[in-house]
A and B are shown apart, each in its own frame.
Chain A
Amino acid sequence: MQKERKSAEVAVRVDGLSKRYGSIRALNGVSFEVRAGSVFAYLGPNGAGKTTTIQILAGLTERNAGEVSVCGLDVSVDPVAIKSRIGVVTESSNLYPELNCQRNLEYLGELYGLPFSTRRERALQFLEEFGLAEKRRQPFRSLSRGMKRRLTIAAALIHLPDVLFLDEPTTGLDIPSARSLRALIQRVAKQGTTVFLTTHNLAEAENLADDVAILIQGRIVAQGTVEQLRNKVGEAKSLSVQCSPPLSPEIAKRGCPSVREAHLKDDVVRLEVSCLHSAILELAELVKREGNTIDQLICAPPSLEDAFVNILDKSRETARDRT
């Protein structure tokens, strides 16, 4: 499964991609590049056009305009050649429910033209690597959701693709399953496979991705490395406060006009603020007034989530101004 990392090359190139469904414009002049061997996170709210992009890149849906190439090949010219070099994990775990785990992987190996000995050997190897060796004789339908997801990813990798598309891979999984799946994605990426990831979980994208593009209403509104996007937010805009007795997030939000959102987690209140300086002053006043004492105050650097919310807000403001 080990591959050479080729970060200078481009694995996926999209230029001016547009797609319409009737009167709805799903993608509007989308352009980006994914470096070979990198993890690329494609972020956006529901209905932004992420799945449509993957469907076009995987040769499932035809585009209306634009240029699309995967591994240097045009998707519309030779879809079969491209499909043999990519692996796709769709939103649902869509393997064959009545076939057992090993047979599912071997069948996918057959479809990708692997010789008998290779597909058997690789199926057993992947079942071992993905922690499913004991379940190899169990039908796919009897597996837990997390196991189904792992086997679906294993199936997408059976032919050692150059590019792996993952559409919302951890959606609906419990925390341990999601964490183990993220570790697995990291391992796949380290072995040299280019990973194209769509997710709603921004912490996940921050943790896994080298490069990020944010898609809103069919347009790319920001792209770059995680660091570059974080820097767009400017100053730190998150505060974590621990008080004795604990401060209620509702009181914090009510008492400090600069606080936009407040959440309590393990006695620590995380505050999303519009202006850091004012928020700290307001908080000091509030704590004094309420009779609390501050045990800990952390001024957190902006996360990818902060960057995403910031970009989303700006995009909405721009849309409002246009109308």
Chain B
Amino acid sequence: MNQWMRAFFVARKDVESYYGKPPLVTWGLLFPAVMILAIYLKDRTGYLDVAPGIIGLTLLFGNTSMAAIVVTFEKRTGTLERLLLAPLRVRTIVLGKALSAALYGMATSSVLTLGLCLLLKMPLTRPGVFILGLVLGGGTFSLLGIIAAVSVKEVFEAMTLLNFFRFPLLFISGVFMPLSKMPFWILPVTYLSPLTHVIEIIRTGVHGDCTFGCLWIPVSCALLFLVASCILVVPVFRKRATR
């Protein structure tokens, strides 16, 4: 049986074990749903500008929280050591963990999107692009979540470490306003955030037009972040997982 299949088994077990954990429900579903509802009640037409950002945010919080919970919980109970003792390559373990986290983030974002489309009549002009955004964001955020989680021991430590990065990203990544409306001095920092590019792809999927003018710019940048995360995660995991 090849390593791909074993990565799938790791992911399936995580889905069985962790999808119902309270922090995932609150951060992955409740938090974005309440946020979008609050914005809708304030401005019943302007919420469409914010909706792609909130979907991207759901993806970020859902994926990173899932990855953090899975890795830190298993590190604490010793079950991560059991995985390391099994005939699995480190990249197989990482792939399995990232897959379960990515699926969770993509599922919660899709549920939110479905709710927005059905209840608040949000358009989905280019569904293929929208899904591409979810896939690229899902992969990158899951891997970043694993990198953060494998460095600490407790779930709360992982969440604290992640929030240290996640909350600033809220302000610099065009979550609450399109890039075109952001102050010029913040733009250079904005482009360094993977969330910016994921939200731009999602925004293009929803509205049909891209702020960058060309869709390939955010797609290439998001892909670059995904590749960088892939390269970084294996050595970090190998070094930190047994500590």
Contacts and interface: CB of A to CB of B under 8 A. Distances in A.
B13 A94 contact: no
Interface stretch (A67-75, A81-89, A208-216): A81-89
A107 B13 contact: yes
Interface string B56-90: 00000000000000000000011101111111110
Considering residues B5, B6, B79, B85, which has the most beta carbons from chain A within 10 angstroms of its beta carbon? Answer: B85
B89 A94 contact: no
B19 to A, nearest CB: 11
Given A99-B13, A107-B13, A111-B87, A94 B82 contact: yes
A248 interface: no
Interface string A89-107: 0101011111100010001
B214 interface: no
> Which one of A107, A111, A113 has the highest number of Cβ atoms from chain B below 10 Å of its Cβ?
A111
Contacts of B31: none
B242 interface: yes
Contact of A60 (B1, B6, B81, B88): B81
A80 B87 contact: yes
A111 B6 CA distance: 6
Nearest to B6: A111
B242 A111 contact: no
Contacts of B13: 96, 99, 107, 110
A97 B82 CA distance: 13
Contacts of B77: 94, 96-97
Given A98-B17, A99-B13, A111-B9, A80 B85 contact: no
B70 to A, nearest CB: 11
B43 interface: no
A84 B9 CA distance: 16
B6 A94 contact: no
B85 A58 contact: yes
Given A99-B13, A99-B16, A111-B9, A94 B78 contact: yes
B10 interface: yes
A60 B81 CA distance: 8
A90 B78 contact: yes
B9 A107 contact: yes
A108 B6 CA distance: 10
A97 B6 CA distance: 20
Interface in A33-84: 55, 58-61, 80-81, 83-84
Contacts of B16: 99, 103
Interface of A: 55, 58-61, 80-81, 83-84, 88, 90, 92, 94-99, 103, 107-108, 110-113, 115
Interface pairs A-B: 8 shortest CB-CB:
A94-B78, A113-B1, A84-B87, A110-B9, A83-B87, A111-B86, A80-B87, A88-B85
Given A84-B87, A112-B86, 19 more contacts: A80-B89, A83-B85, A83-B88, A88-B85, A90-B85, A92-B78, A96-B13, A96-B77, A96-B79, A98-B17, A99-B13, A107-B9, A108-B86, A110-B6, A110-B9, A111-B9, A111-B10, A113-B5, A115-B1
